[in-house]
Amino acid sequence: QVQLQESGPGLVKPSQTLSLTCTVSGGSISSGGYYWSWIRQHPGKGLEWIGYIYYSGSTYYNPSLKSRVTISVDTSKNQFSLKLSSVTAADTAVYYCARARTGTIAWWGQGTLVTVSS
Amino acid sequence: QSALTQPPSASGSPGQSVTISCTGTSSDVGGYNYVSWYQQHPGKAPKLMIYEVSKRPSGVPDRFSGSKSGNTASLTVSGLQAEDEADYYCSSYAGSNIPLFGGGTKLTVL
């Protein structure tokens, strides 16, 4: 059974870079066939895809966030990471990492709340 | 890319059936048989309930079913139970673009 766990600071100052890491267990990122994804949910709101990365390093980003997002993968550690630059209060959200295939997400992390505040 | 359109709320009494719709375009819902439905209870991560329009993952009760017609997908919950009260989100593959989510539907069991 695949498990995903997000980690990173829960508080980020405005204009700084939000950095989160997702550690995958029970399955190898390098096995292929899956898109390792970041999704966020603003408080009381719906879900929003941020982007995803394939084990080879190919990435797809939400056009609305593309200029500020970088997703990377470290197959040696079975981890993938999210960086979101120039954050504002509008980036306060619960951030989920997940494993997806053709848009289907069978496995989700528990989510981590990131608050942007000075 | 616009989000998929879902009704903000739906409700039904225990034992009844409720259907939630999810409307997209020919570039997403109508173009692929990769529509998923997720259930989310407060403070919890979403849980996959339906994938590829009508398939149920292991462990999901057969009270949950999915279908699609044209650009609109639907989730039907039959024999409503109290624990079905949650938010439900649809999602659709959109080719090489980022997949889309619906805005979510709050299901209330009366």
Contact between A46 and B3 using a beta-carbon 8 Å cutoff: yes
How far apart CA A109 and CA A96 sit, in angstroms, is 6
Partner-chain residue, chosen from B38, B47, B93, that has the shortest CB–CB distance to A102:
B93
* pLDDT for the residue B1: 57
Tell me the pLDDT tens digit for each residue of A51-62. Answer: 999 988 899 999
- Shortest distance between the Cα of B13 and any Cα of chain A, in A, equals 25
Q: What is the mean pLDDT of residues A61-65?
A: 92
The mean pLDDT value of chain B amounts to 95
State residue A1's pLDDT score: 87
Binary contact (B45, A62; C-beta < 8 A): no
Q: Which of A3, A45, A94, A104 to mutate to test the interface with B (most CBs of B within 10 A)?
A: A104
Stretch 16-45 of chain A: residues touching chain B, C-beta under 8 Å? none
Using the predicted structure, report yes or no on whether residue A86 has a pLDDT greater than 80.
Answer: yes
Residue B96 has pLDDT above 80, yes or no: no
Q: Is the pLDDT of residue A42 over 90?
A: yes
Chain mean pLDDT for chain A: 94
pLDDT value for A32: 82
Closest to B38 in 3D by CA, of B110, B94, B80, B90: B90
Verify whether the Cβ–Cβ distance B104 to A46 is below 8 Å: yes
Of the pLDDT bands very low, low, confident and very high (cuts 50, 70, 90), residue A17 is very high
Residue A43 burial (CB count, 10 A): 9
* Digit-coded pLDDT (tens) for B14-64: 999 999 999 999 999 999 999 999 999 999 999 999 999 999 999 999 999
A108 touches chain B (CB under 8 A): yes
* Mean pLDDT along residues A32-44: 93
* Bridge pairing between strands A11-12 and A112-116: parallel
Indicate the residue type of A112.
Answer: T
CA B104 to chain A, closest CA, distance in angstroms equals: 6
